[in-house]
Amino acid sequence: MAANHIPVKSGKVLDMMGSMQESMTPSARRISEFVMDNPAGVTKLSIAELSQMVNVGEATIIRFCRMLGFKGFQDFKMDLAIELSNQNQGDKSILDTDITSGDGAELIGQKLQTTINNVLSETLNLLNFDALEAVAQQIRDARAVYFFGVGSSGITAEDAKNKFMRIGYNVDALTNNHFMYMKASLLQPGDLAIGISHSGNSLETTKALMLAKENGASTVALTHNPKSGICKYADWVLLNGNRQGQLQGDSIGTKITQLFVLDLVYTLLVKDDVDGAQAKKLLTTKALES
């Protein structure tokens, strides 16, 4: 798939708009925020009415719709209306709100559980499963697989290294920018580099993926933002969700969705070679026994 074009799946307009907001122009972001604040109302507006409400030209609205993969405003409105009609409003409750200072431990636990459910649903909405299958095949075929990430995404990279190594793959994780650049500059065709950056704008991880691609390695970006800098150097893009409250932060939303996507890839690998994966996992487990 082309990494710079992530098609919007039918009925998933709101999630995709949310993932792209950080890369939008100010006028496009104004349209997006207006739609997300009042999606049902937007489905009843003409393009002229929306233009007046968000103070942008009609041509800007059309460009906004085309950026999302629609031919024009009418197609956008139709898909948005279908999405809203399919939503189960009964599932929405106070547990969708942010954590407040008056919440007790049990209510906080319930809210975090709901956040996890929401962000995993968002991730499934955003993921391109053809790309997911392709990445799994790339890992099967690769001479070596390298996970790049810094900060919280570096922790995800280390977890992925542990998971894939346990079933026999030649993997490593680089979380220091100097080591990332050195390793990326030495990659060759047949190697696979997977850059993990939730924002997609990590300068270190983006540079590492760029170096890997320049040297002939295949590249993957795991990010929330399909229009971010890291995607320019990715042969495949895997999107993770971000639906979380302000107080919940990376520890819940970002981390769980990154791990979830990588676990999906891991499961695809295991299901195609259950006996082999189990045998290798047993060997690595025995090697760790005292």
Among candidate residues 236, 239, 129, 249, the one with its CA nearest the CA of residue 193: 236
Which stretches of 127-202 are DSSP H helices? 129-141, 152-165, 177-185
Domain ranges of the chain: 13-86, 129-288
Q: Residue 93 has what pLDDT?
A: 43
| Per-residue pLDDT tens digits for 219-235 | 999 999 998 999 999 99
| Per-residue pLDDT tens digits for 181-216 | 999 999 999 999 999 999 999 999 999 999 999 999
Among candidate residues 35, 38, 1, the one with its CA nearest the CA of residue 18: 35
The CATH class for the domain spanning 13-86 reads mainly alpha
- Residue 194 in contact with residue 147, Cβ under 8 Å? yes
Q: What is the CATH number of domain 129-288?
A: 3.40.50.10490
User: pTM for this one?
Assistant: 0.79
| Per-residue pLDDT tens digits for 152-164 | 999 999 999 999 9
143 contacts: CB under 8 Å, gap ≥ 6: 170, 188, 190, 191
| Per-residue pLDDT tens digits for 21-70 | 888 999 999 999 999 889 999 999 999 999 999 999 999 999 999 988 89
| Per-residue pLDDT tens digits for 66-83 | 988 899 999 899 888 888
Contacts by 104-112 with C-beta closer than 8 Å and gap 24+?
Answer: 111/245, 112/248, 112/252
Q: Is the pLDDT of residue 287 over 50?
A: yes
